[in-house]
């Protein structure tokens, strides 16, 4: 069962194009979305929240294939955090709650105040006076206080201090254990993904380069390094995004075991980081 199902999504904005994407975000898991600046992460997310409408293709969220028609119901069931929030700046978090209780059917005041307290967000200070990080924390408190089934977080951690980032990742993980919830979050901080994501999706220039279960990704693909002159045309074909350096080459490969059989100790096989996966895949695109 998928929380988000996208088929053939196409969108042209100026010179940028989201190119006929098929995406499945499975229910009950954390999916992390990565990609360079301008890759299309926010544009894609805006289609999930109804802020943008596709030129063509289908977007199905929490069973609804008509976001406009079901907007109110969906916004109750989706918790959202964006890098910039749209809360009325003249209100304090305490006053804001009066609006939110009207808006969200399943608003939980006790949970909201608990998060404000835990996150050390001053309840009676006007939002415009809050620091950037405090505003993100306020958005998170709101997103976590209306019993949302799906959390969509667009770079939630980028403005947060490392200690709170860790705290937030723990909170998100705990939510997964205690409740049937789905989380999609975009980030540039790949160590956050390594820590909590079940699936990793990479977007580049409006295309999905991969969307895979993290453990399967890191078990299937490994970093391989070897000396100069070791490879022929055939073994070269087993490598993804190869880069040569003064000592030899390094690349990513899902045929690392074959290379090990062929070359024994001459080839070094190591675990990849998510950053390295992205690096080699981008290299491969450049080479093709």
Give residues in contact with ligand ATP (CB under 6 A). Answer: 13-14, 16, 35, 37-43
Nearer to ligand ATP, 4 or 39 (CB): 39
Nearer to ligand ATP, 201 or 217 (CB): 201
Nearer to ligand ATP, 31 or 43 (CB): 43
Nearest-approach distance from CB 27 to ligand ATP, in angstroms:
24
Nearer to ligand ATP, 108 or 205 (CB): 205
Whole-angstrom distance, CA of residue 124 vs CA of residue 204: 42
Nearest-approach distance from CB 9 to ligand ATP, in angstroms:
13
Nearest-approach distance from CB 217 to ligand ATP, in angstroms:
20
Angle subtended at Cα 34 by Cα 155 and Cα 218, rounded to the nearest 5 degrees:
130
Nearer to ligand ATP, 38 or 227 (CB): 38
Nearer to ligand ATP, 14 or 264 (CB): 14
Nearest-approach distance from CB 82 to ligand ATP, in angstroms:
10
Nearest-approach distance from CB 126 to ligand ATP, in angstroms:
27
Nearest-approach distance from CB 52 to ligand ATP, in angstroms:
9
């Amino acid at each position: 069962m998928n929380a988000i199902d996208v088929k053939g999504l196409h969108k042209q904005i100026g010179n940028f194009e989201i190119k006929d994407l098929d995406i499945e975000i499975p229910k009950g898991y954390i999916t992390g979305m990565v990609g360079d600046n301008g890759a299309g992460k926010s544009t894609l997310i805006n289609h999930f929240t109804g802020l943008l409408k596709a030129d063509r293709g289908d977007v199905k969220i929490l069973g609804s294939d008509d976001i406009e028609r079901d907007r109110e119901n969906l916004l109750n069931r989706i918790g959202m955090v964006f890098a910039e929030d749209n809360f009325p700046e003249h209100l304090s978090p305490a006053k804001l709650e009066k609006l939110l209780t009207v808006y969200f059917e399943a608003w939980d005041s006790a949970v909201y105040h608990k998060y404000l307290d835990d996150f050390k967000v001053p309840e009676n200070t006007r939002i415009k006076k809050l620091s950037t990080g405090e505003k993100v924390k306020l958005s998170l408190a709101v997103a976590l206080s209306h019993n949302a089934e799906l959390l969509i977080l667009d770079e939630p951690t980028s403005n947060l201090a490392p200690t709170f980032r860790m705290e937030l990742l723990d909170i998100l993980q705990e939510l997964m254990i205690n409740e049937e919830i789905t989380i999609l979050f975009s980030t540039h901080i790949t160590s956050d993904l390594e820590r909590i994501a079940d699936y990793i999706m990479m977007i580049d220039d409006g295309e999905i380069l991969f969307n895979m279960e993290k453990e399967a990704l890191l078990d299937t693909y490994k970093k391989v390094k070897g000396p100069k002159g070791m490879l022929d045309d055939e073994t070269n074909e087993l490598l993804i995004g190869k880069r040569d350096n003064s000592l030899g080459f390094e690349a990513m490969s899902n045929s690392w075991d074959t290379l090990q059989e062929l070359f024994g100790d001459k080839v070094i096989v190591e675990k990849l980081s998510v950053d390295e996966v992205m690096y080699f895949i981008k290299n491969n695109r450049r080479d093709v």
